[in-house]
Amino acid sequence: MIDCIIPAAGASQRMGRWKPALRWGSGWVIDAVVQTALAAGTRVILVTRTDQRELLAERFAAQRAVILIDNPHAEVGMFSSIQCGVRRLGTRRFFVLPADMPLVPAAIFTQLRELPMCDAVRPTYRGQPGHPVLLSARVADRVLALPSDATMRRALDGFRMRTIETTAHGVCIDLDTPGDYHRSLDNGADSG
């Protein structure tokens, strides 16, 4: 089993509402993202804001393969959430999947996992980089060595990134704005 860090501590400023709690099918966006990672055989490290922890704890209480942790410095940015997740890793390799990407198919995790390992592996769709990203222990060490206001781009600087082209457009679709959300509903879920 490989761990999957799902950063869900963002302020969702461009969306105007907390993205993980947006309706998606019969549940929420975060339900779809977590279920995809679990279906792919990962243990989920779900990083959230302190003020949303109780809500998510109730939602995933029955999921033994979901570890919920707080990012007390969520306002610093997503990288600080990834750092929180890396501190809880139980595996040498790990995935990172943003909490606002409910159209990623579980099969992508398997495709990435089956590639010969290098420090970073990610799917692409029509040449566009996507998620999840599969990372090595060396990248985890770099993530922890950087300040919390750094970026994953900086953490990956100097590491080889292998890519695999996929026909799954969902690897590149995140829900940053209300327009993104409504277009994605048309592609993968109804508003329940």
User: What residues have CB less than 8 Å from 115, skipping those under 6 apart?
Assistant: 121, 134, 162, 164
Question: What is this structure's pTM?
Answer: 0.95
Tell me how far CA of residue 98 lies from CA of 29, 143, 192, in angstroms.
11, 16, 22
Q: CB–CB of 32/25 below 8 Å?
A: yes
Domain that holds residue 67: 2-188
pLDDT bin (cut points 50, 70, 90) of residue 189 is: low
Q: Across all residues in the chain, what is the average pLDDT? A: 94
Count up the domains in the chain and report the number.
Answer: 1
Amino acid, res. 127: G
User: What residues have CB less than 8 Å from 4, skipping those under 6 apart?
Assistant: 37, 40, 42, 43, 44, 45, 94, 95, 96, 97, 109, 132
**What integer is the mean pLDDT of 144-166?**
97
Whether 185 has a pLDDT exceeding 80, the answer reads yes
User: The CATH number of the domain where 35 resides is what?
Assistant: 3.90.550.10
Whether 190 has a pLDDT exceeding 80, the answer reads no
pLDDT digits (tens, 9 = 90+) for 49-107: 988 999 999 999 999 999 999 999 999 999 999 999 999 999 999 999 999 999 999 99
